[in-house]
Amino acid sequence: MRAIDVAIQVAPTDLSVLITGESGVGKESFPQIIHQYSRRKHGQYIAVNCGAIPEGTIDSELFGHEKGAFTGAISERKGYFGEADGGTIFLDEVGELPMPTQARLLRVLESGEFIKVGSSKVEKTNVRIVAATNVNLTQAIADGRFREDLYYRLNTVPIQVPPLRERGGDVVLLFRKFASDFAEKYRMPAIQLTEDAKQVLLAYSWPGNVRQLKNITEQISIIETNREIDASILKTYLPVTNNDQRLPAILGNKGRKGFESEREILYQVLFDMRQDVTELKKLVHGIMEERKTSSPNYYAPPSSAVTPVSSSVPTLLHTPMKSGSHPSEEDIQDTEEYVEESLSLDDVEKEMIRKALEKHHGKRKAAAQDLNISERTLYRKIKEYGLD
């Protein structure tokens, strides 16, 4: 009710409004409330899903283009800002706008001016902008994905729509409303909930919010022949989620670093190898020290017994021991230094590609997937290292 009150109060003004909330909470209803209670209600109302328009065409969709501005522009086009002059534009998922488009939008908000794609003529528009997003724009600004000046310009009046799980008895009222709508739509009696079913409805976490509630109400209305729905029937339509088990949510992979190229993957492999070899060295040293103290006639293999199997990875070959000798620090090769001196990044990369090709019998697509690189990169590397 607080969110609706704010929408009605701000409607008569021309202030920009930013609506935030989780996906499915019903953010798209608030721009319509604002438009219907404003003096622009007789003008155009256009809703634009910014996340559904490809990046290459979004400027043309919003601001229009001139004939011949790009391939396929066979005629002049009037964009949404031209069409909605004197009305309201609702920019849904505004956090998905590319950075160049954000700069153009900022100019419209500040001066009401825009330029069509392929034109040099400045045009004016008188449009009320209402934006919505389920993205944390503050974090997007910190990540460099959203302009800070645009955020403050859009966020003149913020409206936060709470998730359904925090709206108490709203869930029962909405269920009844949707049940009535579907009964009228499908010409059947409306379904009703028993008291225990209402408690189940209130206890559920509703990760899909109002959209999920509407879909489940429609399913029950169509499928169930019994018009009275008890808790056992209702539970069969509610998918089990982690939120219902009151488990902490994991948002994103903040602690996990992605690889930008195959070279970074190789660096990570080498780093892991170095750690493994260091641990192996400590383990061997501990075993030799233990045998040295427990058996005075124990003989340690000489340093010559440590030989590289390939140009990159050393291994230990056990040879017969001569009695009467004792191990010394020199008998243990410094494998960590050995790896650092002998490892060539290009050699390791070449060897990994060769082994991947052998493993997949020369099938480059499978080898590229195994190496976590693109086929084009693999082709280039094969030519570069002469692995044809």
* Secondary structure (H, E, C), 2-18: HHHHHHHHHCCCCCCEE
- At residue 39, the pLDDT reads 95
- At residue 310, the pLDDT reads 43
Q: Rounded distance, CA 370 to CA 318, Å? A: 34
- At residue 340, the pLDDT reads 44
In DSSP notation, 328-374 reads: -GGGS--HHHHHHHH--HHHHHHHHHHHHHHHTTT-HHHHHHHHTS-
- At residue 141, the pLDDT reads 96
- At residue 275, the pLDDT reads 79
Tokens read off for 49: 């899903």
Q: How far is CA 169 from the centre of its chain?
A: 32
Pairing of strands 192-193, 157-160: unpaired
- At residue 371, the pLDDT reads 83
Q: Rounded distance, CA 8 to CA 30, Å? A: 9
Give the residue ranges of the chain where pLDDT is below 70.
Answer: 241-264, 267, 292, 294-344
Q: Is the dihedral of CA 66, 70, 73, 74 positive or negative?
A: positive
Q: Rounded distance, CA 86 to CA 79, Å? A: 14
pTM confidence score: 0.61
At 196, which helix (H) or strand (E)?
Answer: helix 195-203
- At residue 262, the pLDDT reads 59
Secondary structure letter of residue 252 according to DSSP? S
Give whole-number Cα distances, 247 to 204, 205, 216, 241, 250, in Å. Answer: 14, 12, 23, 9, 9
- At residue 104, the pLDDT reads 95
Domains of the chain: residue spans and CATH = 2-160 (3.40.50.300), 165-245 (1.10.8.60), 278-343 (no CATH), 346-385 (1.10.10)
Quickly list H helices, 37-98. 58-63, 80-83
